[in-house]
Structure 1
Amino acid sequence: MKYLDEFSNPELALRLIDQIKAVATRRWSIMEVCGGQTHSIIRHGIDQLLPDTIEMIHGPGCPVCVTPLEVIDKALEIASRPEVIFCSFGDMLRVPGSEKDLFRVKSEGGDVRVVYSPLDALTIARANPDRQVVFFGIGFETTAPANAMTVYQAKRLGIENFSLLVSHVLVPPAISAIMESPTCRVQAFLAAGHVCAVMGTDEYPPLCDKYGIPIVVTGFEPLDILEGIRRTVVQLESGRHELENAYPRAVQDVGNPAAKAMLLDVFDVTDRAWRGIGVIPSSGWRLSHAYREYDAEQRFAVGDIHTEESTVCRSGEVLQGLIKPHECSAFGTLCTPRNPLGATMVSSEGACAAYYLYRRLEVTHA
């Protein structure tokens, strides 16, 4: 199948690996930002095929994983209310809050529904004018345009019983936070192709210059990732720190102008807390003044909910690339996909979930 078979060709993969081995003369640590890239790397054993000098560090690019515990608790509080129909993508239902998850709320009688688009939630709101319908809007820049469009449509159509619980985060400020951490080991980044397909690449060259790091935009198939790694290593070995777009079939420098215009209208940039990392300045979105009436956090007065993270779960260190999942003592014992302590184990893009699914109990190299 086009773009599956072509970008998983083992002969081409081995050729790229040979090229990486030929150019790599020093130890380099490269962070892939996106959780989808992490799963592809672990599933295909890319990290084990690379030379010992190349370490892949798994970044905080899983939107479910970085959603703060207190936002999960706010969602649980809202979803438990009898007048509410709470809508979410399926990957949020098993993410643990302080005491329960959305599946538990549903089993206790809450009207929790899995939808495949935020516009589905708007349709539910129109069909149930006597109920409050809330959509759980999480994610990076990739999912934000659809959520923005839904709020825009709600206002345009005069649908007053719809609101959005917002927890959107932005990639470039996270890169800055990682690079400014005193424990940072990252020397280069693979940027997420789908984020750049929306936002373009303009924000990345200043980061390359400020921190002296190569950033290569890449996709999610094995050959995409290997080509991104190859380009990154070539830059590192030559002492360059530039932005490169290795995913031109999907990413243009300008991004998607229509989506960006919608985001600019509906959202304002704000400080955001990241689970396991803390507050990163100007790293998220909230609804702008013109759409603030659709803010579920304000509508249901849950802004004062605050929580503390588990002391057993080390997902914060995993998200910062400080440890690999198997280095957490709870991994695979106290913490499994069936009984997760943190979002990194239950999310479909979480690093802990990838290590558990593909039985990566310890990291070895070929």
Structure 2
Amino acid sequence: MKFVDEFRDPALAKQLLTRIAQRMASPVLQARAPIRIMEVCGGHTHSIFRYGLEALLPQTLELIHGPGCPVCVLPREHVDDCLAIAAQPDVIFTTFGDAMRVPGSRQTLQQARAGGADIRMVYSPLDALQIARENPQRRVVFFGLGFETTMPATALTVQQAVGKQVDNFFLLCHHITIVPTLKALLDDEDVCVDAFIGPGHVSMVIGLEPYGFIAEQYRKPFIISGFEPLDILQSILMLLDQLVEGRAEVGNQYSRVVHEQGNIQAQQAVAEVFELRERSAWRGLGEIDQSGVRLRTRYAALDAEREFALRSTRVDDPAECRCGEVLKGQLQPQQCPLFGSGCTPAQPMGALMVSSEGACAACFQYQRNDSQ
């Protein structure tokens, strides 16, 4: 396949759907139905809703929208930390666009900017570094968040800041890692998953090997997938093949982009700059051991947590907000009582409604509640 239209070919999609239906009709899977497959990445969630894939699949096959959107698992207290830093008169606070609308306990970064705080949206951490070089009398803070996909760019920017002696640049690090999160989900008795559609962009960096424990220890099939509709359908078929045959392996449907060893240079940059935290908070999921990273001691001078002496205080979501249950597959987005009324993309109460890759935002945009 060379062109994007081939990844969206209706005839090929129909062939894959026929084969998926045949697999689901097998006695092995009928006895286990419903089959629950979790897509880990928010990009997959967006594509599934955009192309209406759930409506095309057999009713006995259920897709669970997992915690693969970093904005969606950003705790309120970390937004409050951002707001506290941005309120300092000598600070220019920079971050990615999606983070601007995540609710803290009182307001969002977007609202703080409207109130006069110097908060700027950037497209990369290098943009923030350039702002620091242009404003040497002010402290410039970059709010780094995301999985292993965005971590290398942040690491390389930190290295450049040190190399170019930009001493007014700081990193507020909320980068998180996917593998400990998957283990936490597998260890959670409330989460029922038969197989996983693995993240394509993260895997482009870390490769295949880190996922081996999912197949070996937990006996769950795991297929790294691309993001086009045919990618996702083929990945589902590959997972069902394993389930029918009683296999549990890590496979790579996205071989045109993801290589077995991942990106070695990116891994080296990340290992040079970051180390694992003991515990990190996830919105809707609680604390997960060694699931986040922080700057190593040699880069302490750039650490915004130390510079601003942050002491986060946990802030729970409103009781009526059901993001945690959606992330674990216990609820579909439209089953949340706030969906589409008290919580919309224009006025999100929960983080899953903020990013276009959040399950609730994608469902709102492409599907909406049947009752509406």
Distance in structure 2 (CA, Å) of the matches to 1:196 and 1:81? 38
Q: In the TM superposition, what are the counterparts of 1:59-70 in structure 2 within 5 Å?
A: 59-70=66-77
Aligned to 1:7: 7
Q: How many aligned positions are there?
A: 363
Q: In the TM superposition, what are the counterparts of 1:1-366 in structure 2 within 5 Å?
A: 2-24=2-24, 25=26, 26=29, 27=33, 28-270=35-277, 271-362=279-370
Distance in structure 1 (CA, Å) of the matches to 2:370 and 2:185? 25
Q: CA deviation at 1:303?
A: 2.4
Q: Deviations over 1:253-306 (max 9, x none)?
A: 100000000000000012211111011111111111111221112111122443
Distance in structure 2 (CA, Å) of the matches to 1:234 and 1:117? 40
Tell me the SS of whatever aligns to 2:330: coil
Question: Is the deviation greater in 1-10 or in 158-167?
Answer: 1-10
Tell me the SS of whatever aligns to 1:93: helix
Distance in structure 1 (CA, Å) of the matches to 2:3 and 2:239? 22
Q: Which amino acid aligns with 1:22?
A: Q
Distance in structure 2 (CA, Å) of the matches to 1:69 and 1:344? 13
Q: Deviations over 1:190-211 (max 9, x none)?
A: 1011100001111111221111
Distance in structure 1 (CA, Å) of the matches to 2:102 and 2:19? 40
Asked if structure 2 preserves the Cα contact closer than 8 Å seen for 1:163 and 1:295, the reply is: yes
Asked if structure 2 preserves the Cα contact closer than 8 Å seen for 1:74 and 1:305, the reply is: no
Distance in structure 2 (CA, Å) of the matches to 1:23 and 1:203? 28
Asked if structure 1 preserves the Cα contact closer than 8 Å seen for 2:77 and 2:312, the reply is: no
* Unpaired segments ≥5 residues, structure 1: none
Q: CA deviation at 1:320?
A: 1.5
Q: CA deviation at 1:308?
A: 2.3
Question: Is the deviation greater in 28-37 or in 199-208?
Answer: 199-208
Distance in structure 2 (CA, Å) of the matches to 1:356 and 1:287? 37
Asked if structure 1 preserves the Cα contact closer than 8 Å seen for 2:49 and 2:367, the reply is: no
Distance in structure 1 (CA, Å) of the matches to 2:3 and 2:206? 23
Q: CA deviation at 1:214?
A: 0.3
Q: CA deviation at 1:135?
A: 0.7
Q: CA deviation at 1:309?
A: 2.0
**TM-score, normalised with respect to structure 1:** 0.97
Q: Which amino acid aligns with 1:174?
A: T
CA 1:176/1:144 → structure 2, altered by over 3 Å: closer, same or farther? Answer: same
Q: CA deviation at 1:362?
A: 4.3
Q: Which amino acid aligns with 2:16?
A: L
Tell me the SS of whatever aligns to 2:171: strand
Asked if structure 1 preserves the Cα contact closer than 8 Å seen for 2:77 and 2:314, the reply is: yes
Q: Which amino acid aligns with 2:299?
A: Y
Distance in structure 2 (CA, Å) of the matches to 1:266 and 1:308? 31
Q: Which amino acid aligns with 2:297?
A: H
Distance in structure 1 (CA, Å) of the matches to 2:221 and 2:370? 29
Tell me the SS of whatever aligns to 1:66: coil
Q: CA deviation at 1:37?
A: 0.2
* Unpaired segments ≥5 residues, structure 2: none
Tell me the SS of whatever aligns to 2:290: strand
Distance in structure 1 (CA, Å) of the matches to 2:218 and 2:275? 26
Tell me the SS of whatever aligns to 2:72: helix
Q: Which amino acid aligns with 2:321?
A: C
Question: Is the deviation greater in 199-208 or in 54-63?
Answer: 199-208
**TM-score, normalised with respect to structure 2:** 0.95
Counting aligned pairs with the same residue, the percent is 49
Q: Which amino acid aligns with 1:175?
A: L
Distance in structure 1 (CA, Å) of the matches to 2:75 and 2:306? 17
Q: Deviations over 1:307-343 (max 9, x none)?
A: 2222121111111221111111111111111111011
Q: Which amino acid aligns with 2:293?
A: W
Q: CA deviation at 1:360?
A: 3.0
Distance in structure 1 (CA, Å) of the matches to 2:156 and 2:328? 32
Q: Deviations over 1:24-75 (max 9, x none)?
A: 1322100000011001001111111011121100000001001111111101
